[in-house]
Chain A
Amino acid sequence: MNYLLLIYTNEAELMGLGETALQKVSGEYVDFTKSIVQAGNFKAGDRLKPVSSASTVRVRNGKTAITDGPFAETREQLGGYYLIEAKNLDEATAIAARVPGARFGSIEVRPVWPMT
């Protein structure tokens, strides 16, 4: 089964960590990604630019409205994702627990619902 791991962290807190700490986290992500590529679980994954760069699009009555920022203000923001293949939820959550962001943010684990 494919699962999407949505990485939620508090952007402001993360940015406030300082250069050295951020570099350390970044290194941990590189190592983690390598490990799931090697294990064959990795399908895709990236980090996202900060929420301040986000735009939201809605189409109502045929009219497109574009607004600044995310749909809702929350304490933690979506900061990145992995698309993984795992044999079941237990394997998926075990991988999610190894995402560096799980230690200071949270990882939402969502099964992918294929279109066919």
Chain B
Amino acid sequence: MSEGAAAQVVEEIFRREAGRVLASLIRLLGDFDLAEEAQQEAFAAALEQWPLHGTPENPCAWLISTGRNKAIDRIRRDILFRTKIAGEIGAAESDFDLALDAADEEIFGDDRLRLIFTCCHPALNQEAQIALTLREVCGLSTQAVARAFLTSEETMAQRLVRAKKKIRDAGIPYETPDPSVLEHRIEGVLAVVYGVFTEGYAATVGARLIDVELCEEAIRLGRLLNALLSDHAGVMGLLALMLLHDARRASRISNTGDVVLLENQDRSQWDRQQISEGLALVDRSLSVRGQVSSYAVQAAIAALHVRAEDGRATDWPQIVGLYEVLLRLQPTPVVELNHAVAVSMVDGPARALDLIDSLAARGRVTQYHLLHAARGRLLQTLGRINEAREAYSAALSTAMLEPERRFLAARIAAIQGICEAPVSG
């Protein structure tokens, strides 16, 4: 094999297997930094040796075992350097051998799951959980993670160092949690994956509306979890939700980067294959006995939207019903707001306005731009133009995303046009 061809093979395997190799090395070595170095050294060794000796039969196992040996060499050097007893090396070595003998597909999968649970451990703050997952499980560079958080590479590197130090110092295990807390811990993992997705799908600040890389990473994580924890209602529900939202990605922004509302989206641009995969997962999730996942309910709502031929054909009464189920599972202001918007499609804007005003009166969401935007829209429909303009202005003053700000400014300008036009017949 030529050197170029071999390099291509290594690169291909790196793209596919880097995550698995790292996860197993972290378990074997019990240390993130040591494992990252070992992973790099193993791939460097592959670039050197595979062109000469051919690609090994099981490249993944080769990489893990090479990485492990490199790390042992390193530990040995360090230990000799510190003139400690050689007995420690022997003990460490036999542990590694024992563990690797059993290295097969199943163990690799388990290692990735262990790593996900470690990165999403509730003893880490959620921002750290998301950053660690992107870095260690998805294999994003520190720079890419920093970009996702709109922070500098240096700040992100420090944050990752702190998180790894907490894992080491506090004794956060590399383990799949005990069955008694497994459900709760899976919820935490799903929150992290959904956090990655929403930051990609509906960024909260900045110039871009959608960060495709984050959406794709979140979906990849969802697929990985679905492969590792089969037939879990929450996992299937979340994956379905992400697939159904993401299927509409292309139609959500115009060529100029502006917001396109659902009813105006070009449905021919929707990814039909992703939609049918999502729809099947919603059904499977909702048919798991005894578990209703809030993600699945949200996915069922998204499914009703994508199943409809156009905005008017949408089954709004059923959507209202699903939001009522969701409100019981997840009584948050955001769900309440979405429920009210759905109600406006069934019972009209006046009833929905009452619901939103009651939500606003409870004072928890006055800084939430979508609440003001929804109010503006309902008021406009009711012909209360001046109040509508005030609501849009309130939305504009709290929105931080450029395309949303442009959208709101356009709404205000349109109303201005109505007000200033001469009154005729």
Do chains A and B stick together as partners? yes
One digit per residue, 1 when the CB lies within 8 angstroms of any chain B CB and 0 when it does not, for chain A 12-38 equals: 000000000000000000000000000
In the complex, the number of residue pairs spanning A and B with C-beta atoms less than 8 Å apart equals: 30
Are B175 and A88 within 8 A (Cβ)?
yes
Nearest-CB residue, chain B, relative to A110: B170
Complex partner residue of B123 from A1, A87, A89, A113, CB under 8 angstroms: A89
Most A CB atoms within 10 A — which of B170, B177, B178? B170
Complex partner residue of A89 from B173, B178, B180, B181, CB under 8 angstroms: B173
B contact residues around A93 at 8 Å (CB): 123
In this complex, how many residues of chain B approach chain A with their Cβ under 8 Å: the count is 12
Nearest-CB residue, chain A, relative to B169: A111
Are A92 and B171 within 8 A (Cβ)?
yes
Interface members, chain A 56-101 (any B CB < 8 Å) = 86-90, 92-94
A contact residues around B180 at 8 Å (CB): 94
Report if A111-B171 is in contact (Cβ < 8 Å); known contacts: A89-B123, A93-B123. Answer: yes
Nearest-CB residue, chain A, relative to B172: A89
Shortest beta-carbon distance from B94 to chain A in Å: 20
Are A90 and B173 within 8 A (Cβ)?
yes
Shortest beta-carbon distance from B146 to chain A in Å: 27
- The complex places the Cα of A87 from the Cα of B181 at a distance, in Å, of 16
Nearest-CB residue, chain A, relative to B177: A90
A contact residues around B173 at 8 Å (CB): 87-90
- The complex places the Cα of A1 from the Cα of B173 at a distance, in Å, of 11
Q: Show the binding face of B for A, using Cβ within 8 Å.
A: 121, 123, 169-173, 175, 177-178, 180-181
10 A-B pairs with the lowest CB-CB distances in the bound complex, closest first: A88-B173, A88-B171, A89-B171, A1-B171, A89-B172, A89-B170, A111-B170, A90-B173, A111-B171, A111-B169
**29 A–B contacts from the bound complex (CB under 8 Å):** A3-B171, A86-B171, A87-B173, A88-B171, A88-B172, A88-B173, A88-B175, A89-B121, A89-B123, A89-B170, A89-B171, A89-B172, A89-B173, A90-B172, A90-B173, A90-B175, A90-B177, A90-B178, A90-B181, A92-B171, A93-B123, A94-B178, A94-B180, A94-B181, A109-B170, A111-B169, A111-B170, A111-B171, A113-B169
